[in-house]
């Protein structure tokens, strides 16, 4: 039997690695946000949109929102992504955007469908 067959499953290793990466990303996010206070940022790692690309989630024709960067989005499942979208929604509410509840339902549906 070769050594290769005795390797532990890699899934756990990947998860630990990505957590460390996230902590590093958050450090970068903190520094970059201080330099660009008016720019939006990823709600998970905190890196602003001048250094990362936001994952656009289309929820109604011609409209998309992006609370997460591509990297953070790809590390999460629809269920674990949803709180970040809800957080963005709450911010819209706080700033008085007065979006109808149907808009949230459309966002939630799109996220759960993998959008
Ligand atoms: Zn991110």
CA of 44 from ligand 1 middle (Å) equals 5
Residues 96-114: pLDDT tens digits? 988 999 999 999 999 999 9
- Coarse DSSP helix, strand, coil percentages of the chain, rounded to the nearest 5 percent: 55, 10, 35
Chain centre distance of CA 57: 11
Whole-model pTM: value is: 0.81
∠ Cα 63 72 9 (to 5°): 140
Centroid of ligand 1 to alpha carbon of 3 (angstroms): 36
Distance 86 CA to ligand 1 centre (A): 16
Q: How far is the CA of 29 from the centre of ligand 1 (A)?
A: 9
pLDDT band of residue 2 (cuts 50, 70, 90) is very low
Mean pLDDT, range 37-63, rounded to an integer:
96
Domain ranges of the chain: 3-112
């Amino acid at each position: 039997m070769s050594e290769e067959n005795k390797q532990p499953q890699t899934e756990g290793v990947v998860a630990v690695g990505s957590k460390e990466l996230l902590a590093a990303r958050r450090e970068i996010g903190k520094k970059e946000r201080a330099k660009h206070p008016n720019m939006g940022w990823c709600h998970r790692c905190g890196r602003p949109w001048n250094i990362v690309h936001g994952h656009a989630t289309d929820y109604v024709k011609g409209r998309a929102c992006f609370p997460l960067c591509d990297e953070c989005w790809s590390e999460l499942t629809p269920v674990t992504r949803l709180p970040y979208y809800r957080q963005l929604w709450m911010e819209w509410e706080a700033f008085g955007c007065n979006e109808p509840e149907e808009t949230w339902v459309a966002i939630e549906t799109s996220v759960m469908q993998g959008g």
